[in-house]
Structure 1
């Protein structure tokens, strides 16, 4: 699971760069709600990815010990996505809904790109 922790560490770095970019976009462009929505979605997406990493580690430990695992926490990650959308919908003057949804998917896009780069580089 060390590789998974390395992937998560790279994800955090990239999300923090995204948040810095969103802060600049929020402060210096005429589209502050779009950048605030991307930041909100990115934060919730990082939280979802953290939950996934934690559950996968627990799943790996359980398999090595021969125990059963109930689930990988899909419901909790789904609820987190709903919470992000609920925040964006409840404060539409601060957060753009579409960019929030796009922001939720950014960690998974990063993961896909990271794995493609890894396989091209090492295989």
Structure 2
């Protein structure tokens, strides 16, 4: 489980860098709504990943103590994704919908890339 916390710590660092790039893109390019959508989606995507890490901790403790394991918070993460899309749809002049959806998936894309790099370093 410490490995998941390490990955989440790296994800937060990447998120702050990505959000800084989104702010620069929002301020200095004509694609402000696209960068705002990516930032919004990445924020909610990282929140979803944080929920997953917390629920995995609870799940791991429950299994190790022999108790019944609780859910992994799928409904909460799904609701968070719906909230991000609802914000983008209700404010289309500020947030681009497709870039918001892409931003929602960025933490998971970073997770896959990080695992590929980790496996490549081991071999």
Smaller-chain TM-score range?
Answer: over 0.9
Give the total of aligned pairs.
Answer: 123
Aligned to 1:28: 28
User: How far apart, CA to CA, are the structure 1 residues paired with 2:30 and 2:70?
Assistant: 47
Can you list the C-alpha shifts for 1:68-97, whole angstroms capped at 9, x where unaligned?
123100000000000000000000000000
Structure 2: gaps (5+ residues): none
Structure 1: gaps (5+ residues): none
* Mapped contact 2:59–2:70 kept (Cα < 8 A): no
1:2 deviates by 1.4
Taking structure 2 as the reference length, the TM-score comes to 0.98
User: How far apart, CA to CA, are the structure 1 residues paired with 2:69 and 2:78?
Assistant: 19
Aligned to 1:122: 122
Aligned to 1:94: 94
The alignment's C-alpha RMSD in Å is: 0.6
Taking structure 1 as the reference length, the TM-score comes to 0.98
